[in-house]
Amino acid sequence: MRWTILLIAALLLSGCGAGESQPDTTSQISQPPPPVIIPPPPAATTRTWTVHGQTADGGTFDGTFSYEKDAAPSGENVRGNQNVIYPLKTWDIQAHPTYQGIPIVGLPPVLFFKNTGFVDTSELCFNECIFDPNNFSRLAFSNGLQTLVLTFRLPAPHTALPTEAGDWGVFEANASHLQSMDLAGTFQYLMVVRNVELVEG
């Protein structure tokens, strides 16, 4: 009888232990990973200008050029003048030389100035860029045979690259021209640029 009671007690104890609740790990919700913060794109570092103009004889030219906003000068006091030269990043300009709407004999109908050209060069000059002690901003493009020069008079010495159209100064027609030479180096054509417009973007 005694052993029977002990056996029943042991069974009851083991049953109570088996019935104890266990922690429910399946009910725990995992935390989502922290969101990925994507930084904004860096500010544009290139300033692009659209150029359009006319020569005195009815020819036209148009295109674009650009430079880095924080570009360092590529030269100073060039040609013995007190000036500063900056590099252009890109340029792509087409000129259509005509005389009162008629193509000029000996000249291609379209002249190309482009930074991808094999012999093309460009120059962005400030201050004493021509044989004049006054301050100017001057753009010059060459493809080896033809040259396009655009000059603007500055009210004060250059301090920074232009950020708006007014920074270029007042257009100086007497110091702006479109010129062409033939393969032998013989002068072909020279015409004053009558007006020019520069627009950012």
The string of pLDDT tens digits covering residues 164-196 is 999 999 999 999 999 998 888 888 888 999 999
Q: Assign 111 a pLDDT band (cuts: 50, 70, 90).
A: very high
In this structure, what token pair is assigned to residue 128? 């004493």
Cβ proximity of 154 and 137 under 8 Å: yes
Q: How big is the chain by its Cα radius of gyration, in Å?
A: 38
User: How many angstroms separate the CA atoms of 178 and 151, rounded?
Assistant: 12
Residue 132 has pLDDT above 60, yes or no: yes
What's the mean pLDDT when you consider all of the chain? 85
User: How many angstroms separate the CA atoms of 65 and 80, rounded?
Assistant: 27
Residue 90 has pLDDT above 80, yes or no: yes
**Number of neighbours of residue 103 by Cβ within 10 angstroms:** 14
pLDDT at 184: 83
Residue 3 vs residues 8, 9, 10, 100: alpha-carbon distances, Å = 9, 10, 11, 130
Residue 115 vs residues 4, 39, 64, 165, 166: alpha-carbon distances, Å = 106, 33, 11, 23, 25
**Number of neighbours of residue 151 by Cβ within 10 angstroms:** 25
Parse the chain into domains and list their residue ranges: 46-200
Residue 4 has pLDDT above 60, yes or no: no
The tens digit of pLDDT for each residue in 42-88 reads 666 899 999 999 999 899 999 999 999 989 999 888 888 899 999 99
User: How many angstroms separate the CA atoms of 112 and 147, rounded?
Assistant: 10
pLDDT at 130: 87
